[in-house]
Structure 1
């Protein structure tokens, strides 16, 4: 087992002069995400002396009504801000489905049908138990998928770090240095990470596992509050050594 360096500050800090806003799993809810981006834009306008960074923690697509619109929006600009979009497990599964991975057909029942519909694919009457129907859905999706959207999603990073914070979709495997984390853990891990009280090299900011409210713990911050299940889309502002839930 690797040993990690628990050297982040207490309280943790972002670099001086930075304002970072991170938000959780959007899952096709463009209206909720737009509200967060407008708050980020307004904050940047009020504080022109700071460097403003907005981070999506992944899972832009599936379950909600407008995955295509969400992807298009994060490809555009947020005035006064730099936008960083991390890759989640749902984007990964969607791309595997497009690539023909037979194990990725589970994506359809995990919210993928809503994504197909948002790209104009007719899913009415399709049986997810029929190999022929699944293949027809795949071919229709390939024909409808916007090439620039797919290129954008394929090049999304799995994590990003600023100061004492490590931003990622799902979490990290305890005991493994951050630079040696496996992709599978960064986008899929749950219990091993969530149940650990270990302080990692940096404080981890993540989504992936819905909670009733944002969780700010000693070793991690969870911003997934189940927007796709009727919850809110949560975001947090990180400045200096403080964290403020928006």
Structure 2
């Protein structure tokens, strides 16, 4: 018998990809503190679920709950309350990862303070903005202020976030996946942070990828992925997509 060579490549998702029967999934793009946009969206999702009591309803938030927009604290509190009639899956975005890195005194925390819209996050917890909060010597005091102002339940919630969710022929994630690596073997950093290598890839993965992380003007439907990050904090548009059977519609 000839010896097998090469690496096993999982079969790509079928065309068209679909959800299991009697399953409705709503995926929500990057929220970035826009509680004013999230609340009416969740209200619509809850009303729809009430009209279809026999189906399985799943809501997936694709991460980046915090920063940039005005009410990070309110977004976390609202998602902690759940979505009536639906399972709620909240994924970790790079902004949550960076904040937790700052709280844990890791190098990535420097990026959160400097580039990630941290001022808006701080103000949502009643922490007065300070011009020198990016200065290294102020990091320890700022960390103390956050621990004092942020409910432990909010911190625990952020630490509990998962990095991916798979259902039917779809794989939901914040940033994307590393091409050439099976979905089951993806590293957390890629799932939360990857950009160009994933966005430029033409590979058909085992499942179709649904993601956010990279802002686009309108939902971006590609052969191997769907991007739902429409820059809600600046555009005023929080995009969600409904997956049911083989159909995908903007919700």
State the TM-score bracket (shorter-chain normalisation).
over 0.9
Measure the CA separation in 2 of the matches of 1:142 and 1:103.
18
Measure the CA separation in 2 of the matches of 1:114 and 1:71.
14
Measure the CA separation in 2 of the matches of 1:151 and 1:116.
18
Distance 1:219 1:10, change over 3 A: same
The count of aligned residue pairs is 245
Q: Are 1:11 and 2:16 an aligned pair? A: yes
Match of 1:164 in 2: 169
Measure the CA separation in 2 of the matches of 1:78 and 1:91.
21
Match of 2:25 in 1: 20
Q: 1:154 aligns with which of 159, 165, 187?
A: 159
Match of 1:126 in 2: 132
Across the aligned residues of Structure 1 and Structure 2, the Cα RMSD in angstroms comes to 1.4
Distance 1:236 1:103, change over 3 A: closer
Distance 1:25 1:4, change over 3 A: farther
Match of 2:85 in 1: 80
Match of 2:119 in 1: 113
Correspondence 1:60-209 to 2 at 5 A: 60-109=65-114, 110-128=116-134, 130-209=135-214
Measure the CA separation in 1 of the matches of 2:9 and 2:64.
28
TM-score (norm. length: structure 2): 0.93
Give the stretch that moved more between structures: 223-232 or 63-72.
Answer: 223-232
Deviations 1:176-235 (A, max 9, x none): 000100111101111111111110000000000001100111110100011122241100
2:98–2:108 CA contact under 8 A, matched in 1: no
Q: Which runs of 5+ in 2 are unaligned?
A: 1-5
SS in 2 for 1:205: strand
2:164–2:171 CA contact under 8 A, matched in 1: yes
Give the stretch that moved more between structures: 113-122 or 198-207.
Answer: 113-122
Measure the CA separation in 2 of the matches of 1:169 and 1:60.
11
SS in 2 for 1:200: coil
SS in 1 for 2:15: coil
Measure the CA separation in 1 of the matches of 2:238 and 2:147.
29
State the Cα distance separating 1:2 from its structure 2 match. Answer: 5.8
SS in 2 for 1:210: coil
Greater Rg over alpha carbons, structure: 2
Measure the CA separation in 2 of the matches of 1:179 and 1:127.
39
2:31–2:64 CA contact under 8 A, matched in 1: yes
Q: Which runs of 5+ in 1 are unaligned?
A: none
1:86–1:157 CA contact under 8 A, matched in 2: yes
TM-score (norm. length: structure 1): 0.95
